[in-house]
Amino acid sequence: MIFGAVPVADAGGAVLAHSVPLPGGRLRKGKVLGAADVAVLQEAGIAEVIVARLEPGDVAEDAAAERLAQALVPDAAAVGLRVGKASTGRVNIFADCLGVAEIEAAKIDAINAVHPMITVATVPEWQRMGLRGMVATVKIISYAVPEVALERSCVLGHDGMRMRAVTVARAQLIQTFVEADDGVKGQKAIGDRLDRLGVRLGDICLVPHETEALATAIRGSDAEAIFILTASATSDISDVGPAALRAAGGRVAHYGMPVDPGNLLFYGDLRGVPVIGLPGCARSPALNGADWVMERMLCGVPVTPRDIAGMGVGGLLKEIPTRPRPREG
């Protein structure tokens, strides 16, 4: 692409790089100048304009953005996404279902390293998305890019993102109490979280903070996902919550996470049904580590201990005002 100032008489067929004010309005940047445009500029007494001229082997910005978006999402309907129309070198990609966005970060990084004028920006990996939320934007910064660079970007980024739709319709929250006034303080906060993903929360289930009572409640649940919120924080993998899951016939996969608030989470399953032991901070609507685990599991995304270990960078979240023991005393 050749970029620079040219006499107006030689500007036909070039892309206008900057908007030009005229007595009757303006010619906007990005416009391909035709003979009529050149005449209007000459009548206005404008001697030269800054333009971009495509060279052999260049691909215009809209066509380039469209090609890259199609490479990233070859079959949008099949992966819960919608690809918007190209405009000013940009194509936006939207969620077409409730769920989490699966982004292959290595592919996005590879695209962005090919050519500085070819860019893709996305939401963070596993970001919860509402309907029509923007998952990514493809932007060609200049007015054209070399075909060879575009083709390499398309190959490197092929099938680089998708939505993972919600797979759970019904969930249950089991809460324990030590004293009679412990109540069901987490029901609304958890219910609101599930509402955002279209998951229905079952009736209140409140049991004594005892291993056998909790195990009986877990065993008796017919929900597709089970959340446990204990009156007393889970302090060890052998504490009441994890012990009750094992006593019910389930499996504890992991305890603890490098996310704060959210350290005291445990999770596992009961005959394939995901079970998450929530930290006390889940009673607050504020973001905490449990959100990252809950949202993935509700969308059928496996969460391994290695995944948990990788959450530390970015895992220092905003302090919850009602926290019993703040980070700084």
The ranges assigned to domains in the chain are 2-53, 58-164, 170-309
**Would you say 244 and 231 are in contact if contact means Cβ atoms under 8 Å apart?**
no
pLDDT per position as a tens digit, 145-158: 999 999 999 999 99
The domain covering 170-309 belongs, at the CATH homologous superfamily level, to MoaB/Mog-like domain (3.40.980.10)
Above pLDDT 70, what percent of the chain?
99
pLDDT at 91: 98
pLDDT: is 308 or 25 the higher one? 308
DSSP state at residue 239: S
- Collapsing DSSP to helix, strand or coil, 75 comes out as coil
Domains 2-53 and 170-309 share a fold: no
Model confidence band, residue 96 (pLDDT cutoffs 50, 70, 90): very high
Name the token pair of 159: 């099938």
| φ, ψ for residue 323, nearest 5 deg | -60, 130
- pLDDT the model gives residue 179: 86
Provide the CATH topology of domain 2-53: Molybdopterin biosynthesis moea protein, domain 2 (3.90.105)
- Model pLDDT for residues 30-47, shown as the tens digit of each residue: 999 999 999 999 999 999
Note the pTM of the prediction, 2 decimals: 0.92
Residue 30 tokens read as 């990005």
SS3 59: strand
Q: What pLDDT band is residue 326 in, cutting at 50, 70 and 90?
A: confident
**Long-range contacts of the stretch 246-253 (C-beta < 8 A, 24+):** 247/211, 247/212, 247/215, 248/215, 248/216, 248/218, 248/219, 249/219, 250/218, 250/275, 253/304, 253/305
Confidence grade of residue 185 (pLDDT, cut at 50, 70, 90) = confident
| Mean pLDDT value across the chain | 96
What's the gap between Cα 114 and its chain centre?
Answer: 23
Q: Are strands 161-165 and 266-270 parallel, antiparallel or unpaired?
A: unpaired
| Whole-angstrom distance, CA of residue 35 vs CA of residue 14 | 11
DSSP code per residue over 134-185 = EEEEEEE-SSEEEHHHHHHHHHHTTT-EEEEE---SEEEEEEEESSGGGTTT
Round to whole Å and give the CA distance between 318 and 287.
8
pLDDT tens digits, 263-302: 999 999 999 999 999 999 999 999 999 999 999 999 999 9
pLDDT tens digits, residue range 52-78? 999 999 999 999 999 999 999 999 999
Cα(242)–Cα(276) distance, rounded to whole angstroms?
Answer: 10
- Whether pLDDT at 86 is above 80: yes
Q: Which two tokens stand for residue 245?
A: 């899951």
Fold classification of 58-164 (topology level) = Aldehyde Oxidoreductase; domain 3 (3.90.1170)
Band the pLDDT of 239: cuts 50, 70, 90: very high
Find the DSSP H helices in the chain.
Answer: 35-43, 61-72, 105-112, 147-156, 187-195, 211-220, 240-247, 289-298, 305-309
- Yes or no: say if 111 and 171 are a contact pair by the CB < 8 Å rule: no
Residue 272 near residue 250, CB atoms below 8 Å:
no
- Start-to-end C-alpha separation, the chain: 60
